[in-house]
């Protein structure tokens, strides 16, 4: 899976947005992104600003009144503030790589030895900033809950845990 991600990320674009192929010419274009319906963007900052504004709108519109006072509601607001700091650090020469935000085990074809032989469903492919491209695919099915260290027996050393 990592090799597929690395290959996909080797394709560079000057804008952020969803990948679209013209069926008549087979040319590829960057078009508005599917989650927000906005874009294409020429900078990471513009993308993150629209993404955080979209997250705030999604939270507020259908939410009950207690959502506005929940501590998690501060995350998109904090994100917007952090992005204002980020603005000062980005170069004007950005390039963006392809990533499949819907990439996971559910869209892999494997043979009888579980070797990957194909990938299906490229609807989630977009040109994105490096921070998005370099993330571990959320939909791999390999996410594990963090260990509950409060249940760990302190008498059990790391050496004895390795022996069975």
136-156 residue pLDDT tens: 776 666 666 666 655 655 555
Identify the H or E element spanning 85: helix 74-86
Query: In this structure, are residues 121 and 102 in contact, taking their beta carbons and an 8 Å threshold?
Result: yes
Q: Using CA atoms of 114, 120, 124, 126 in order, give the dihedral in degrees to the nearest 10.
A: 90
Residue with tokens 């994100």: 79
Banded model confidence at residue 85, pLDDT cuts 50, 70, 90:
confident
Res 164: pLDDT: 45
Banded model confidence at residue 65, pLDDT cuts 50, 70, 90:
confident
Give the span between the Cα atoms of 28 and 40, in whole angstroms: 14
13-39 in b/e burial notation, b at 16+ Cβ within 10 A? bebbbbbeeeeeeeeeebeebebbebb
Res 48: pLDDT: 87
Summarize pLDDT for 15-53 with one digit per residue, the tens.
999 999 999 999 999 999 998 899 999 998 889 889 888
pLDDT cut 90: percent of the chain above it:
39
Banded model confidence at residue 100, pLDDT cuts 50, 70, 90:
very high
Res 82: pLDDT: 83
Candidate ranges 8-17, 89-98, 101-110; pick with highest mean pLDDT: 8-17
Q: Give 4: exposed, middle or buried? Use CB within 10 Å, 0-12, 13-18, 19+.
A: middle
Per the structure block, which two tokens stand in for 135?
């993330």
More confidently predicted of 88 and 85: 85
Q: Is the pTM of this model over 0.75?
A: no
Per the structure block, which two tokens stand in for 88?
């000062």
End-to-end CA distance of the chain: 31
Give the span between the Cα atoms of 54 and 60, in whole angstroms: 10
Whether residue 62 has pLDDT greater than 90? no
Query: In this structure, are residues 139 and 104 in contact, taking their beta carbons and an 8 Å threshold?
Result: yes
């Amino acid at each position: 899976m990592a090799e597929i991600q690395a290959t996909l990320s080797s394709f560079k674009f000057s804008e952020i947005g969803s990948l679209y192929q013209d069926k008549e010419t087979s040319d590829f274009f960057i078009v508005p992104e599917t989650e927000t319906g906005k874009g294409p963007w020429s900078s990471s900052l513009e993308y993150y600003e629209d993404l955080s504004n979209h997250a705030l709108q999604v939270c507020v519109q259908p939410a009950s009144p207690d959502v506005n006072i929940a501590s998690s509601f501060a995350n998109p607001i904090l994100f917007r503030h952090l992005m204002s700091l980020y603005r000062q650090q980005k170069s004007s020469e950005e390039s963006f790589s392809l990533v499949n935000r819907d990439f996971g085990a559910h869209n892999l074809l494997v043979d009888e030895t579980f070797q990957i032989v194909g990938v299906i469903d490229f609807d989630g492919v977009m040109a994105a900033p490096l921070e998005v491209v370099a993330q571990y695919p959320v939909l791999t099915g390999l996410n594990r809950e963090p260990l509950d260290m409060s249940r760990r027996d302190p008498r059990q050393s790391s050496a004895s845990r390795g022996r069975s």
